[in-house]
Amino acid sequence: MTQQQSILVSIILVNYNGEEVLPDCLSSIEKFIDIPAHEIIIVDNASTDNSLELVAEKYPQFHLIRQSKNLGFGTGNNAGARLASGEFLFLLNTDTVLTSNILPHLIDLMYADPQLGIIGPKLLNPDGSLQISVSPALGIKGEYQARQMHRDYQNITKKSLIEQKFQQIQEVDIVVGAAFFIRSSLFHQLGGFDENFFMYFEESDLCQRAQYQGYKIIYTPHVSLIHLKAYSIQKAANTMAIEYRRSQIYYYQKHRPWWEQILLRLYLFYKFFGEFLTTANPSSLKIIILLFTVKKSAVQVSVSN
């Protein structure tokens, strides 16, 4: 690729201690992504394993950004996006494996509709089964609907109905951040991810803000990739459980009406106060403390940006 040739797609991966999954992910990108005008940017969030050495030794052609601290998923992607030159950004988790060149289909969809801002491809579990990767708009009702859909998918009698539901391209409210295709111009217009989210809800927040601007979000099942799901989270389950609730509270403060914010806090208080009384789990106590300490950041991305 010549220096004068413009970049069409910037693939951005945020890595944190992903030594075990990086080789399969990066090898699949090398194998299947063959559009001529693309770049791969790896943002390392201060890994303590051999991730950096692995990338430097086996994938020196990829652009590696070394962060001095782990400031979270959204912040890492923002760092990559600031250096990206692509017309489109493909934000990809390191625990994914491509099985085909999915970019041409995503690019064609974007060019066909200027109001389309974000696309989520079909995600598969390692056994090839469907991994639910969309959600209704988050709130009391939306979270209930999302959890009910995931519960139904575990029910053998309802599983096929849900799989059929996701066999067509459709407009959705939220696609998960494991494989997130977005116009670069839109990403920068929105100010990227809100860095007050360390992990969880950051893609939901970005999708919501894109919709505020009149952009559509779609899910397409016509291309797919494997997602190992929650690889990095499993290594720090208790910490991430607390972070999930912190992000949830913050998201409600940004986007939901006051009465939903109160209902959420009441629900979390009774849920985790009861758990603390019966188990003395310090994580439950930390979540209770969050209910009284999480505040909106003074720096907010306005819906009128």
Query: For the segment 243-298, what is each residue's pLDDT rounded down to a tens digit?
Result: 999 999 999 999 999 999 999 999 999 888 887 788 878 888 888 888 888 776 43
In a domain, 72, yes or no: yes
What's the confidence (pLDDT) of residue 16? 94
Among 181, 200, 233, where does a domain finish? 233
In a domain, 303, yes or no: no
What's the confidence (pLDDT) of residue 198? 92
pTM value surpassing 0.85: yes
CA 279 to chain centre: 32
User: Within this chain, do residues 196 and 214 fall inside the same structural domain, yes or no?
Assistant: yes
User: Within this chain, do residues 164 and 253 fall inside the same structural domain, yes or no?
Assistant: no
In a domain, 70, yes or no: yes
**Cβ–Cβ under 8 Å, residues 126 and 226:** yes
User: Within this chain, do residues 161 and 106 fall inside the same structural domain, yes or no?
Assistant: yes
Domain count, the chain: 2
Among 189, 214, 233, where does a domain finish? 233
Grade residue 45 by pLDDT with cuts at 50, 70 and 90: very high
Which residue in the block uniquely carries the two structure tokens 């289909």?
105
Grade residue 237 by pLDDT with cuts at 50, 70 and 90: low
- % of the chain exceeding 90 in pLDDT: 78
Among 209, 233, 257, where does a domain finish? 233
User: Within this chain, do residues 72 and 216 fall inside the same structural domain, yes or no?
Assistant: yes
User: Within this chain, do residues 99 and 241 fall inside the same structural domain, yes or no?
Assistant: no
Question: Domain residues for 257?
Answer: 236-293
**Cβ–Cβ under 8 Å, residues 89 and 184:** yes
What's the confidence (pLDDT) of residue 241? 86
Q: pLDDT tens across 110-137, in order? A: 999 999 999 999 999 999 999 999 999 9
User: Within this chain, do residues 100 and 172 fall inside the same structural domain, yes or no?
Assistant: yes
CA dist 221 and 83 (Å) reads 30
What's the confidence (pLDDT) of residue 230? 62
CA dist 236 and 105 (Å) reads 36
Q: pLDDT tens across 164-193, in order? A: 999 999 999 999 999 999 999 999 999 999
Q: Could you please report the per-residue DSSP string of 38-60?
A: EEEEEEEE--SSSHHHHHHHH-T
User: Within this chain, do residues 133 and 68 fall inside the same structural domain, yes or no?
Assistant: yes
Q: What is the CATH classification number for the domain harbouring 54? A: 3.90.550.10
User: Within this chain, do residues 211 and 245 fall inside the same structural domain, yes or no?
Assistant: no
**Cβ–Cβ under 8 Å, residues 89 and 8:** no
In a domain, 112, yes or no: yes
CA dist 208 and 217 (Å) reads 10
